[in-house]
Amino acid sequence: MSSRTLAKRLPEPEDRLPVPYDRRTVARGGRRATDGQIGSPVGSTGCRLVELPRIADPRGNLTPIEAGAQVPFAIERVYYLYDVPGGEARGGHAHRAFEEFIVAASGSFDVVVDDGVHAERFFLNRSYYGLYLPPMVWRELDNFSSGSVCLVLASARYDEADYIRDYDEFVGAR
Ligand code: TYD
Protein backbone atom coordinates (compact mmCIF):
# COMPACT_ATOMS: atom_id res chain seq x y z
CA MET A 1 0.00 0.00 0.00
CA SER A 2 1.38 3.40 -0.85
CA SER A 3 1.62 6.08 1.77
CA ARG A 4 -0.86 8.26 -0.08
CA THR A 5 -3.39 5.42 -0.12
CA LEU A 6 -3.22 5.18 3.64
CA ALA A 7 -4.04 8.84 4.16
CA LYS A 8 -6.96 8.64 1.79
CA ARG A 9 -8.64 5.69 3.50
CA LEU A 10 -9.00 7.67 6.70
CA PRO A 11 -12.02 9.90 7.21
CA GLU A 12 -11.69 13.63 7.00
CA PRO A 13 -12.54 15.72 10.05
CA GLU A 14 -16.03 17.07 9.61
CA ASP A 15 -14.91 20.68 9.34
CA ARG A 16 -11.78 22.75 9.61
CA LEU A 17 -12.93 25.73 11.64
CA PRO A 18 -11.30 26.43 14.99
CA VAL A 19 -13.57 25.15 17.72
CA PRO A 20 -14.20 26.60 21.17
CA TYR A 21 -11.86 25.41 23.85
CA ASP A 22 -14.24 22.94 25.37
CA ARG A 23 -14.80 19.23 25.60
CA ARG A 24 -16.43 17.87 22.53
CA THR A 25 -16.56 14.61 20.73
CA VAL A 26 -14.97 14.46 17.35
CA ALA A 27 -16.88 12.45 14.86
CA ARG A 28 -15.37 10.34 12.10
CA GLY A 29 -11.99 9.73 13.61
CA GLY A 30 -10.59 13.27 13.65
CA ARG A 31 -9.03 14.78 16.74
CA ARG A 32 -8.16 18.44 17.11
CA ALA A 33 -5.57 20.12 19.26
CA THR A 34 -8.48 22.18 20.57
CA ASP A 35 -10.78 19.33 21.44
CA GLY A 36 -10.25 19.53 25.16
CA GLN A 37 -9.62 15.77 25.20
CA ILE A 38 -6.31 16.31 26.88
CA GLY A 39 -7.43 14.45 30.01
CA SER A 40 -7.39 11.25 27.96
CA PRO A 41 -5.22 12.17 25.04
CA VAL A 42 -3.56 8.83 24.33
CA GLY A 43 -5.00 7.34 21.21
CA SER A 44 -4.97 3.74 20.07
CA THR A 45 -1.58 4.17 18.42
CA GLY A 46 0.22 5.44 21.54
CA CYS A 47 0.50 8.93 20.03
CA ARG A 48 -0.73 11.66 22.32
CA LEU A 49 -1.52 15.34 22.29
CA VAL A 50 0.34 17.37 24.90
CA GLU A 51 -0.82 20.78 26.03
CA LEU A 52 2.13 23.16 26.32
CA PRO A 53 2.59 26.11 28.66
CA ARG A 54 1.36 29.46 27.38
CA ILE A 55 2.87 32.65 28.69
CA ALA A 56 0.33 35.18 27.52
CA ASP A 57 1.64 38.67 26.91
CA PRO A 58 0.14 41.66 25.15
CA ARG A 59 3.42 41.87 23.23
CA GLY A 60 2.85 38.34 21.90
CA ASN A 61 2.56 34.93 23.48
CA LEU A 62 5.38 32.54 24.31
CA THR A 63 5.42 28.75 24.61
CA PRO A 64 8.45 26.95 26.05
CA ILE A 65 9.15 23.23 25.51
CA GLU A 66 11.59 21.38 27.74
CA ALA A 67 12.94 17.85 27.43
CA GLY A 68 11.76 15.73 30.32
CA ALA A 69 8.87 18.10 31.01
CA GLN A 70 6.51 18.32 28.04
CA VAL A 71 8.65 16.11 25.81
CA PRO A 72 9.51 12.65 27.20
CA PHE A 73 12.93 12.37 25.56
CA ALA A 74 16.20 14.25 25.29
CA ILE A 75 15.94 16.56 22.28
CA GLU A 76 18.84 15.93 19.92
CA ARG A 77 17.52 17.59 16.78
CA VAL A 78 15.06 20.22 15.63
CA TYR A 79 13.78 20.64 12.10
CA TYR A 80 10.83 22.39 10.52
CA LEU A 81 8.75 22.12 7.39
CA TYR A 82 7.64 25.34 5.70
CA ASP A 83 6.62 26.65 2.28
CA VAL A 84 4.63 23.44 1.77
CA PRO A 85 2.68 23.87 -1.49
CA GLY A 86 -1.09 23.46 -1.35
CA GLY A 87 -2.17 19.83 -1.65
CA GLU A 88 1.26 18.44 -0.80
CA ALA A 89 1.91 15.78 1.85
CA ARG A 90 5.03 15.04 3.87
CA GLY A 91 6.14 12.09 5.93
CA GLY A 92 5.21 8.69 4.60
CA HIS A 93 7.54 6.72 6.81
CA ALA A 94 8.07 5.28 10.28
CA HIS A 95 11.05 5.42 12.60
CA ARG A 96 12.45 2.25 14.10
CA ALA A 97 13.66 3.84 17.35
CA PHE A 98 13.37 7.61 17.11
CA GLU A 99 10.70 9.52 18.99
CA GLU A 100 9.34 12.80 17.67
CA PHE A 101 7.21 15.68 18.91
CA ILE A 102 5.33 17.73 16.32
CA VAL A 103 4.01 21.26 16.79
CA ALA A 104 2.03 23.45 14.41
CA ALA A 105 4.21 26.48 15.16
CA SER A 106 2.11 28.42 12.68
CA GLY A 107 -1.03 27.57 10.75
CA SER A 108 -2.47 24.08 10.70
CA PHE A 109 -2.09 20.62 9.22
CA ASP A 110 -3.15 17.03 9.86
CA VAL A 111 -0.96 14.24 11.14
CA VAL A 112 -2.18 10.76 10.24
CA VAL A 113 -0.58 8.09 12.41
CA ASP A 114 -0.84 4.32 12.03
CA ASP A 115 0.66 1.55 14.13
CA GLY A 116 -0.14 -1.14 11.57
CA VAL A 117 -3.48 -1.94 13.21
CA HIS A 118 -5.07 1.36 14.20
CA ALA A 119 -4.95 4.69 12.42
CA GLU A 120 -5.79 8.13 13.78
CA ARG A 121 -5.91 11.60 12.29
CA PHE A 122 -4.85 14.51 14.47
CA PHE A 123 -5.60 18.08 13.43
CA LEU A 124 -2.94 20.44 14.79
CA ASN A 125 -3.99 24.06 14.68
CA ARG A 126 -2.60 25.65 17.84
CA SER A 127 1.03 26.47 18.63
CA TYR A 128 0.50 25.47 22.28
CA TYR A 129 -0.16 21.80 21.56
CA GLY A 130 2.27 19.13 20.46
CA LEU A 131 1.79 15.59 19.23
CA TYR A 132 4.12 12.94 20.66
CA LEU A 133 4.95 10.01 18.36
CA PRO A 134 6.60 6.92 19.83
CA PRO A 135 8.82 4.67 17.70
CA MET A 136 7.29 2.41 15.04
CA VAL A 137 4.41 4.64 14.04
CA TRP A 138 3.79 5.35 10.38
CA ARG A 139 3.07 9.06 9.87
CA GLU A 140 1.80 11.24 7.06
CA LEU A 141 1.23 14.99 7.21
CA ASP A 142 -1.26 16.66 4.92
CA ASN A 143 -3.81 19.46 4.62
CA PHE A 144 -1.20 22.13 5.31
CA SER A 145 -2.68 25.61 5.54
CA SER A 146 -1.00 28.39 3.63
CA GLY A 147 2.06 29.67 5.46
CA SER A 148 2.05 26.89 8.04
CA VAL A 149 5.19 25.82 9.87
CA CYS A 150 5.57 22.28 11.20
CA LEU A 151 8.16 22.21 13.98
CA VAL A 152 9.57 18.78 14.87
CA LEU A 153 11.67 17.87 17.91
CA ALA A 154 13.47 14.54 17.54
CA SER A 155 15.21 12.20 19.95
CA ALA A 156 18.28 11.62 17.76
CA ARG A 157 20.41 13.15 15.04
CA TYR A 158 19.35 12.40 11.48
CA ASP A 159 20.06 8.80 10.47
CA GLU A 160 18.51 7.28 7.35
CA ALA A 161 18.99 3.81 8.88
CA ASP A 162 16.24 4.59 11.38
CA TYR A 163 13.66 5.13 8.63
CA ILE A 164 11.23 2.58 7.24
CA ARG A 165 9.91 4.10 4.02
CA ASP A 166 7.88 1.17 2.70
CA TYR A 167 4.48 0.69 4.34
CA ASP A 168 4.34 -3.08 3.83
CA GLU A 169 7.83 -3.43 5.28
CA PHE A 170 6.66 -1.36 8.25
CA VAL A 171 3.68 -3.62 8.88
CA GLY A 172 5.91 -6.69 8.62
CA ALA A 173 8.39 -5.24 11.07
CA ARG A 174 5.77 -4.68 13.79
P1 TYD B 1 12.14 13.24 5.26
O2 TYD B 1 12.34 12.90 6.70
O3 TYD B 1 11.87 12.11 4.32
O4 TYD B 1 11.00 14.32 5.10
P5 TYD B 1 9.50 14.31 5.59
O6 TYD B 1 9.27 13.07 6.37
O7 TYD B 1 9.38 15.52 6.46
O8 TYD B 1 8.63 14.41 4.41
O9 TYD B 1 13.44 14.02 4.77
C10 TYD B 1 13.50 14.63 3.50
C11 TYD B 1 14.97 14.79 3.12
O12 TYD B 1 15.63 15.63 4.06
C13 TYD B 1 15.73 13.47 3.10
O14 TYD B 1 16.62 13.49 1.98
C15 TYD B 1 16.55 13.49 4.36
C16 TYD B 1 16.75 14.96 4.65
N17 TYD B 1 16.78 15.26 6.10
C18 TYD B 1 17.97 15.61 6.70
O19 TYD B 1 19.03 15.70 6.05
N20 TYD B 1 17.97 15.89 8.04
C21 TYD B 1 16.85 15.79 8.80
O22 TYD B 1 16.89 16.06 10.02
C23 TYD B 1 15.63 15.39 8.16
C24 TYD B 1 14.36 15.28 8.95
C25 TYD B 1 15.64 15.14 6.82
Instruction: Report pLDDT digits (tens) over 71-118.
Output: 999 999 999 999 999 999 999 999 999 999 999 999 999 999 999 999
| 125-172 tens-digit pLDDT | 999 999 999 999 999 999 999 999 999 999 999 999 999 999 999 999
Query: pTM (2 decimals)?
Result: 0.83
- The full length of the chain comes to 174
CA-nearest of 127, 129, 128, 100 to 113 is: 100
Could you tell me the distance, in angstroms and rounded to a whole number, from the CA of residue 81 to the centre of ligand 1? 10
Our CA dihedral for 15, 145, 105, 95, rounded to 10 degrees, sits at 90
Which residue out of 16, 77, 90, 93 is catalytically annotated?
93
Q: Give the sheet arrangement for strand 90-95, strand by strand.
A: 30-32, 119-124, 109-114, 138-142, 90-95, 163-164
* Count of Cβ atoms closer than 10 Å to residue 173 Cβ: 12
